[in-house]
Amino acid sequence: AQVRHIKRLIFHEHYSAVRRINDIALLQLDQPVHCNHYIQLACVPDNSLQVPGMSPCYVGGWGATYEGALELPHILQEVAVTLIDNHICNSSEWNGELVKDTHLCAGYQQGGVGTCQGDSGGPLICKDRIGDYYWLVGVTNWGYGCARMQLPGVYSSVQRYYNWIVTHLS
């Protein structure tokens, strides 16, 4: 295992839990992480990447494995999800216009698979259409319950925060 400590934490200056916006932060670690079979890099997408329709996509986290769970897993969980168009996600039958243009939706219409309590801050990654690498397209943000029907997980779109990320990395 590789243990790292947080050297610096940068929250988005306009974060609002009530309005569910700008829920993104950067962590600077005390020393580099070494890539291996279990730890891989993911690219940060700028505005030129066509994120909608990317597949396959995966979410990972240490959160509950089902709604109402009293114990959390001891092993990092990962599951395949599908990106869902924000217009569908915002329909009155789904999330009802709570999803902003700085969000992505991912999961399945029928539910059953997705993020849960404790997964917030975890990655939503999608495989590149051509190359053998992945893009960090989202950060787990919020949702209703765990993988409910027509209530997919909502993620902060990393692409929408590209300029903010670049500004704060320099």
Place of tokens 């216009």: 97
User: What domains can be seen in the chain, in order of their start residue?
Assistant: 40-160 (2.40.10.10)
Q: Is the pLDDT of residue 170 over 80?
A: no
Contact 63, 118 (CB under 8 A): yes
DSSP H or E run through 89: helix 86-89
122-157 confidence digits (pLDDT tens): 999 999 999 999 999 999 999 999 999 999 999 999
Q: What is the pTM of this model?
A: 0.94
Q: Facing residues of 106 across strands?
A: 83, 153
pLDDT per residue as tens digits for the range 1-40: 899 999 999 999 999 999 889 999 999 999 999 999 989 9
